[in-house]
A and B are shown apart, each in its own frame.
Chain A
Amino acid sequence: MPSDETVITVSKLDKVFSLANVGAARPLYQALGGEPAKQRYALKNINFDLAKGEALGVMGRNGSGKSTLLKVLAGIIEPSCGTAVLKGRIGSLLEVGSGAHPDLSGWENMRMAARLLGVPKSERDSYYEKVARFCELGSKLSEPTRWYSSGQFARLGFAMAAMAPTDILLIDEALAAGDMRFQLKCFDFFYAAKAQGRSFVFVSHALPVLRDLCEKGLVLHEGKALYNGTIEKAVSYYETSTAGN
């Protein structure tokens, strides 16, 4: 249920990456009069805002800057210019499950995640219960996650990240997690979360999903926003323009 309250305001956001090797030889080389490293804009002048309960679908080809945008919003990397203001608790489903520890059991990982993700003490018990119910791993949760299949591992990771109390969810192709049935369950979760008034920034190549879930659309191409508006127009723009082909 979109409302008037703005939860994300992104203005004039740039991210520049230096194309030098990440080596100490470079500053030395430049100090001796060598040419500075080439730079590439991964994001250039990105602007958008998002209201509470709204979802933004971000599309673009590989390397267009989608993941960089999510990383900046999640606070993982810093922008080179511009600002992003996010109001509320941020949850990122960028690399699901990668934080889990292989030697700890599912339950222990859950307790660890609750502290790492800042789940308040009073909400811990219901968090564990929700994660356990969502990932459907049953007695497997008592085993070290080392012995999980990659799908089971992804299910636990998704559930741990998704069930944390958040107001804004940043999602990057997280739907690759688990089998068909679990993917459908993830969708149900997204719809339910949206109905509760949580906001989304959703990066996906699945256009029908974006069209169904999002109100707004952003088409990225080589770091620039080619189209920024309603999801219908963004998707049809993406399908016909060079950004998509």
Chain B
Amino acid sequence: MKEIISIRKANAKGHIKRLWQNREAVSALVERQFRARFEKPLVGLSWMLLQPIILALLFAVFFGALVRVPSGNIPYPAFVFVGVALWQGVQRALSESANVFESAAPMLRQTSLPRLAPVLANVAGASIDVIISLTVAVFVGLLFAIPLTLKLVFAPLFLLLAFLATTGLAAALGGVCGAWRDLRQTIALGLQVLMFASPIIYPASLIPQEYAVLYAINPYSGIIEGLRWSLLGGSMPDIGLLLISTGSSIILLVGGVWLFTKLEGRAADAL
């Protein structure tokens, strides 16, 4: 084994190769995320569900019952639960990853693990939350007499897209906020903006036709609309717009990982 230490150029390919070589370490980090949630299964699960349930309830009261946001044939509580379930996970993964050079610092100071590993573990951990909350969303749908259909088979596809887009965004934020730490203060605001730019509390059909393409560039717009369709039914999202969201998910993944490898050296100086 020979390690050559020199100035590293931003080398996403080399980074991914090192991730693969260290796959056992990466899986250990992911497992740690699992354990942190299920060490005491009942306690962990109730904390995990409390947040989306309360939030969906609040939205159902304010936007569903009072403002009467249209949600097509789907009862608003079930409608909003799907969006909230995904968004909770995205939010958690992104805010944890923006902080990764601080929170994973002890580990990054001790091992020469690829620095993308803790970012991946954050996103993987948040995926558990999303899958569990979405299961609850399906139950909420059943409460309102919305049966599960075969469209369910498309759900993993949208979840995979969400995973790719979120990994890219998490890597980008991790690199940028690691290199310029004051930018972390903008994360909460940015997440709020992104939430309103995604069809979480309202359906994408409310967006005027001339902005539909622009709106679809936000990958979460296609992902959430698609998830909602596959779990609860309703009108199928436009294929063209879905393809735009798919494309931007992939661009986000590639661009985010590239940005991370470009900035990680600078961020590591403060370790």
Judge whether A83 and B106 touch: CB under 8 Å.
no
Number of A-B contacts (CB under 8 A): 109
Grouping DSSP codes into helix (H, G, I), strand (E, B) and loop, the B interface class, with mixed when no group exceeds half, is: helix
B interface, size bucket:
35 or more
Judge whether A17 and B180 touch: CB under 8 Å.
no
Q: In the complex, what residues of B have CB within 8 A of residue A77's CB?
A: 265, 268-269, 271
B187 within 8 A of A: no
User: Could you mark each residue 92-113 of chain A with 1 if its beta carbon is under 8 Å from any beta carbon of chain B, else 0?
Assistant: 1011001101011000000010
Judge whether A22 and B180 touch: CB under 8 Å.
yes
Q: In the complex, what residues of B have CB within 8 A of residue A101's CB?
A: 32
Q: Once the chains are docked, how many angstroms separate the CA of A92 from the CA of B6?
A: 18
Q: Once the chains are docked, how many angstroms separate the CA of A109 from the CA of B259?
A: 32
Contact A85/B3 with A112-B32, A118-B22 known, Cβ cut-off 8 Å: yes
Nearest residue in B to A115 (C-beta to C-beta)? B28
Judge whether A116 and B113 touch: CB under 8 Å.
yes
Judge whether B6 and A84 touch: CB under 8 Å.
yes
B270 within 8 A of A: yes
Judge whether A23 and B182 touch: CB under 8 Å.
yes
Nearest residue in B to A108 (C-beta to C-beta)? B35
B64 to chain A, nearest CB (A): 39
A74 within 8 A of B: yes
Judge whether A24 and B6 touch: CB under 8 Å.
no
Contact A22/B110 with A86-B2, A101-B32, A115-B28 known, Cβ cut-off 8 Å: no
Judge whether A99 and B111 touch: CB under 8 Å.
yes
Judge whether A118 and B24 touch: CB under 8 Å.
yes
23 contacts between A and B (CB under 8 A): A22-B180, A23-B182, A24-B180, A73-B5, A74-B112, A77-B268, A78-B5, A78-B265, A78-B268, A83-B4, A83-B5, A88-B1, A88-B2, A92-B112, A98-B106, A99-B110, A103-B39, A104-B32, A112-B28, A115-B27, A116-B25, A116-B29, A117-B111
Additional A-B contact list (17), CB under 8 Å, known A78-B268, A112-B28: A18-B269, A22-B180, A23-B180, A23-B181, A75-B3, A77-B265, A77-B268, A80-B7, A85-B3, A86-B2, A86-B3, A87-B3, A98-B106, A98-B107, A115-B24, A116-B28, A117-B111
